[in-house]
Amino acid sequence: MKRQESVLDRIKETPDERESMMTHDTENTAVYKLREARSVTVITGAGVSAESGIPTFRGPDGTWSNAKIEDVATPEGFQRNPQMVWEWYLRRRNEYAGAQPNPAHDVIAAMEQHYPEFLLVTQNIDTLHTRAGNRKVLEIHGNINQARCLRCDTVFENPHFTLPENSITCPKCHAPARPHILWFGEMYDPAQLEQINHFLAATDVVLVVGTSGVVTTPVYFALYAKQHGAYVIEVNPNVSEVSKDAHCHLRQNAGVALPQLWQAVMAEEQ
């Protein structure tokens, strides 16, 4: 049977197509690495959800274009005006609830089912990955549907889509709660970082999807994995802070590039 042409075969056809799709490796290396891998890590940023209608954070139409970071995304802003902060996050929660996972989310969910060892690390708080089917996922920036107690640190599912009269309180100790979001100036969960670093040290392939790298954590993760022998694939229509460390850069939107790449991997397996 004739082998099905892969996306990485097609990008070799013309210089223009190659430049628009990918830099660095120009062979079928990415497909080969994914086909041979047993352990895969996927790291996602806001770009993976943009095709679901959720704006990225930066840019003219981004989340921060209509809000001040210091007002709605810092502990100090919450202390000054918790009602305003809660109302802002509840508006976002309602907007996210109407979004649906796109083909990029579906491929990442399929990868989890395919590989014996898999980890998804996401900066996104929109829950689209779990709605697409991912379960081996660490939401390192939090979750828009959850709240955290200011007294006992209990994390719980927030039942409210509008702000109740007495604000949102902990079901365990009844103290006030805040959105379970990692704000500017706050530290990552050290237990999550330890788990991620342990997995990255032994992973075969890392895909970095839809992150600019302005928040440098994905850059660190990619470089750490690369130093431990992983093959790094970036999926981003733009050059990012991750690009210089990637072996392969697929320069298309995730909703286009990931399905094509995964189809090629599955074709190789047949």
Question: Which residues are catalytically annotated?
Answer: 141
Give the three-class secondary structure for 21: helix
To the question of whether residue 248 is assigned a binding role by annotation, the answer is no
To the question of whether residue 93 is assigned a binding role by annotation, the answer is no
To the question of whether residue 81 is assigned a binding role by annotation, the answer is no
To the question of whether residue 152 is assigned a binding role by annotation, the answer is yes
Q: Are 54 and 46 in contact (CB under 8 A)?
A: yes
Q: What angle do CA 205, 209, 212 make, to 5 degrees?
A: 125
To the question of whether residue 255 is assigned a binding role by annotation, the answer is no
- DSSP notation for 38-61: SEEEEEE-THHHHTTTPPPSSSTT
To the question of whether residue 170 is assigned a binding role by annotation, the answer is yes
To the question of whether residue 89 is assigned a binding role by annotation, the answer is yes
Q: Are 104 and 209 in contact (CB under 8 A)?
A: yes
To the question of whether residue 59 is assigned a binding role by annotation, the answer is yes
Q: Helices in 51-118 by DSSP H: which ranges? A: 69-72, 75-80, 82-97, 103-114
To the question of whether residue 124 is assigned a binding role by annotation, the answer is yes
To the question of whether residue 254 is assigned a binding role by annotation, the answer is yes
Token code pair at residue 70: 């210091």
To the question of whether residue 46 is assigned a binding role by annotation, the answer is yes
Other CB atoms closer than 10 Å to residue 173's CB: what's the count? Answer: 12
CA–CA distance, 135 with 180 (Å, rounded to integer):
19
- 30 burial type by CB count under 10 A (0-12 exposed, 13-18 middle, 19+ buried): buried
Q: Are 82 and 178 in contact (CB under 8 A)?
A: yes
To the question of whether residue 224 is assigned a binding role by annotation, the answer is no
Residue linked to tokens 């892969």: 6
Q: Are 118 and 39 in contact (CB under 8 A)?
A: yes
To the question of whether residue 149 is assigned a binding role by annotation, the answer is yes
Residue linked to tokens 């190789």: 268
Report the candidate in 226, 248, 246 with the shortest Cα–Cα distance to residue 6: 248
To the question of whether residue 49 is assigned a binding role by annotation, the answer is yes
To the question of whether residue 45 is assigned a binding role by annotation, the answer is yes
To the question of whether residue 237 is assigned a binding role by annotation, the answer is yes
Other CB atoms closer than 10 Å to residue 100's CB: what's the count? Answer: 10
- Residues tagged in the binding site annotation: 45-64, 89, 92, 123-126, 149, 152, 170, 173, 210-212, 236-238, 254
- Residues tagged in the binding site annotation for Zn(2+): 149, 152, 170, 173
- Residues tagged in the binding site annotation for substrate: 89, 92
